[in-house]
Chains A and B, each alone.
Chain A
Amino acid sequence: MEIRDLYRDVILDHNRSPRNFGRLEPADAEALGHNPLCGDSLDITLRLKDGKLEDLRFNGQGCAISVASASLMSEAVKGLAVPDVDALYHEVHALLTEPAHVPARPLGKLMALAGVHEFPARVKCASLCWHTLHAALAKPAGGAAMPTVSTE
């Protein structure tokens, strides 16, 4: 496994210029994700409309894998119905952890993450944004304290 299988051009590009970076104000939901292994954190704000994820932004700092994964995710989930976001998450999780996973649906640019499963130490970097999005969707704003997730 070559190092460029992990750091593909799409990953490097999304790391250099992350899409949907920043914060949505006001937002319908927000969650904070934390990777205690490296001290990195990620914040996701989003807006919902008619059961769909109308818009989202992510903010924070992290390695190339976590930034690119969040950026790719933000493009992939925008406009999806909430259950479809979860379905997509399960596909991506399988892609990140199972060798030669054949996705049940086309994953588009998310396939750039296919190299991650060969680098077990980096799976958490790639999945942090998905856990955080999941937490934000499970607990819309206005409720109790902002949900916080951790990869540990």
Chain B
Amino acid sequence: MNAALPLAAAGYVDAQGRLLPARVRADFPILGREVHGRPLAYLDSAASAQQPRAVLDAVTRYGELHHANVHRGVHTLSQEATAAFEGARETVRRFINARSTREIVFTRGTTEAINLVAQAWGGTQLRAGDEVLVTQLEHHANIVPWQMACERAGARLVAVPLNAAGEVELDAFAACLGPRTRLVALAHVSNALGTVLPVKAMIGLARARGLPVLVDGAQAIAHQRVDVQALDCDFYAFSGHKVYGPTGIGVLYGREQQLAALPPWQGGGDMILTVAIERSTYNELPWKFEAGTPNISGAVGLAAALDYVEMLGRERIAAHEQHLLHTATAQLREVAGLTLVGTAADKAGVISFTLKGIHPHDIGTILDREGVAIRTGHHCAMPVMTWYGLSATARASFGCYNTEADIERLLVALDRVREVFA
């Protein structure tokens, strides 16, 4: 088994090929700190994953040795910065198996990637009476940009309902694909519930009707293998900070024919070939969609993060997180008064829950005092909260560095919550 591993990953796995979280943790300096006098138990990777030393170092090294503006200098540093930036694009391409780097647009994050498509595609393709189809469990980032585009065009936003477990059933999805549907925008994984959507089958249904599909991959990218050609989606969006990279950098993958057909969305330097006062001509893909000086160090950090994930192995990370998910789910079910919110058969390492008579905000504050970091609130997914008749939940989420000890810390801290509110 070990012989098949990349050499670098050798120290990171046991004899069975399973991830050794203790070794992984040693790569994340922040996990060594204390919060309120207790060692940090970080269970909020779905909001932002922590960065390994490899990412922090890559960003520092770039700043210390190679920084300059990209695409415009003849001097050495500018060439090195350009090589680092475009090299990062190639790393992203490989990571999601896009056909070409022409299909990889750097953005500030998932939100900006979706806004790009909603504006550029929505502005030219949406007509009065059209429908854009999303699901009830989307993050606000995959709702509001479409709402804005629909408002401008006089189109309508439609949401596929969920079942009681928080799943999107294929039949329900197919029933919402109507004669007026013009585009489908789906989360790959729900940030509020952990539900993994059957995106491949959904994309198949939509594409059979000739509909373009955008996938919000913010919660999937770090937790399973994403292959945009296998998925056959038209657009795939994700953020660096959810995949152990820096904030302020993200990616829009777009099928080349789709991107080529879209008008630019922001104007400025870098996205043009020539500019005269009368008119300008636009740059080629992907730079047509990258106006202004990009987040170069962010792209460098993102590439280092993707290399790190690849080194650990995405299947190995997924197996580790599934183990944590099942362990934690079984133990949380035993906690008196605790209700799991989102019980899909196929889930990522995200557990939303409520405690009877105790508001999630109070849970979050007490857990924080115990050194346990979770997220509480509506998780920027108010429609799914409304669907469940809740205003908020508490949410624990897992990354490659979490351990069973973190789950134990969560359980002990929840005891403390119930003690305070007894």
Contacts and interface: CB of A to CB of B under 8 A. Distances in A.
- Bound pair (A, B): yes
Interface string B360-395: 111001100100000011100010010000011000
B391 A40 contact: yes
B361 A38 contact: yes
Contacts of A64: 358-359, 362, 421
A23 interface: no
Interface string A66-99: 0000000000000000000000000000000000
Interface in A1-41: 3-4, 6-7, 12, 37-41
Contact of B365 (A37, A39, A61, A119): A119
Nearest to B416: A3
Interface string A116-141: 00010110010000000000000000
Residue from A3, A40, A64 with most neighbouring chain B CB atoms (10 Å): A3
Contacts of B421: 7, 12, 64
A63 B365 CA distance: 11
Contact of B366 (A3, A37, A38): A3
Chain B binding surface, main DSSP class: helix
B365 A6 contact: yes
Task: Report the contact-size class of chain B (Cβ under 8 Å from the partner).
Answer: 10 to 19
A63 B362 contact: yes
Contacts of A38: 360-361, 376-378, 391-392
B420 interface: yes
Contact of A37 (B369, B377, B382): B377
Contacts of A39: 377-378, 382, 385, 391-392
A7 B361 CA distance: 12
B341 to A, nearest CB: 14
Contact of B362 (A37, A41, A65): A65
A7 B420 contact: yes
A62 interface: yes
Interface centre among B358, B359, B376, B416 (most CB of A within 10 A): B359
Contact of B361 (A3, A4, A12, A63): A63
A126 B86 CA distance: 49
B369 A3 contact: yes
A12 B419 CA distance: 12
Nearest to B364: A121
A65 B376 CA distance: 15
Contacts of B361: 38, 40, 62-63, 65, 122, 125
Interface string B305-343: 000000000000000000000000000000000000000
Interface in A106-122: 119, 121-122
B392 A40 contact: yes
A63 B362 CA distance: 6
Query: Which of A38, A61, A121 gathers the greatest number of chain B CB atoms within 10 Å?
Result: A38
Interface string A40-65: 11000000000000000000011111
Contacts of B392: 38-40
A40 B378 CA distance: 10
A3 B378 CA distance: 24
Contact of A121 (B365, B382, B416): B365
Contacts of B416: 3
Nearest to A125: B361
Contacts of A3: 365-366, 369, 416, 420
Contacts of A61: 359, 391
Contacts of A37: 377
A105 B279 CA distance: 69
B161 to A, nearest CB: 21
A115 B377 CA distance: 22
Which of B362, B365, B366, B382 has the most C-beta atoms of chain A within 10 angstroms of its own C-beta?
Answer: B362
A125 B359 CA distance: 12
Contacts of B385: 39
A37 B360 CA distance: 12
A42 to B, nearest CB: 12
Nearest to A4: B420
A70 to B, nearest CB: 13
Contacts of A41: 391
B361 to A, nearest CB: 4
A38 B364 CA distance: 11
Interface of A: 3-4, 6-7, 12, 37-41, 61-65, 119, 121-122, 125
The 4 lowest CB-CB distance pairs between A and B, nearest first, are A63-B361, A63-B359, A39-B378, A39-B391
13 contacts: A3-B369, A6-B365, A7-B362, A7-B420, A38-B377, A39-B378, A39-B382, A39-B392, A41-B391, A61-B359, A62-B361, A63-B361, A122-B365
Interface of B: 358-362, 365-366, 369, 376-378, 382, 385, 391-392, 416, 420-421
Given A4-B420, A38-B376, A62-B361, 14 more contacts: A3-B369, A7-B366, A7-B420, A12-B420, A38-B377, A39-B377, A39-B382, A40-B391, A63-B361, A64-B358, A64-B359, A64-B421, A121-B365, A125-B361
